[in-house]
Amino acid sequence: MSVGHQIARKINAIFFWYFAYEIAEQHHIAIRDLLLVDTIACAWGIQSIDHSTLQASSTGEEFYFHQYPLSVKEIIPSPVGHWSRSPQATSEPQSDISLPGIRLFCRTRTKCARLNALQAELVSCFGSVLKGL
């Protein structure tokens, strides 16, 4: 299972064409070094890592994933949630959940956009012309 959000390419373009030059200049970094986090994806699941062990240790137990809410500032928490044997949401993760041959996972993945050398040069030229107006 996963939940994700990706910024539209149009928004990426607006950021780099209209704001990157000024941001890079303010922070004394090269435009080429700017990164825009454009994708955040949270995933959780159950994975079989050893089928022979899995067959022998099948207990019929149920596991539940409880996702934490966003912070007041709408920031995704890390970790995004926890596994539990209880269907009722708990505030603390259960550290004793383990089964031979099974891996319970929960992870957050981010992707970043950046300009290549040619794009950075174009944005730099464009920004310096606009600054001179």
Q: What is the pLDDT of residues 52-108, one digit of tens each?
A: 555 545 556 778 888 888 888 877 777 888 888 888 887 666 666 777 777 788 888
pLDDT at res. 124 = 93
* Residue 5 zone, left/alpha/beta (φ > 0; ψ -120 to 50; rest): beta
Q: Is the pLDDT of residue 111 over 70?
A: yes
- Name the β-bridge partners of 43: 2, 107
**Using CA atoms, how far apart are residues 127 and 133, in angstroms rounded to an integer?**
10
Does this model's pTM top 0.85? no
* Domain locations along the chain: 1-35+114-133, 42-106
Q: What are 13-43's pLDDT values in tens digits?
A: 999 999 999 999 999 999 999 999 888 888 8
Where are the strands (E) in the chain, listed by range? 2-6, 36-48, 64-67, 81-84, 102-113
Name the pLDDT band for 119 (thresholds 50, 70, 90): very high
Q: Is the pLDDT of residue 121 over 90?
A: yes
- What strands, in cross-sheet order, belong to the sheet with 2-6? 2-6, 36-48, 102-113
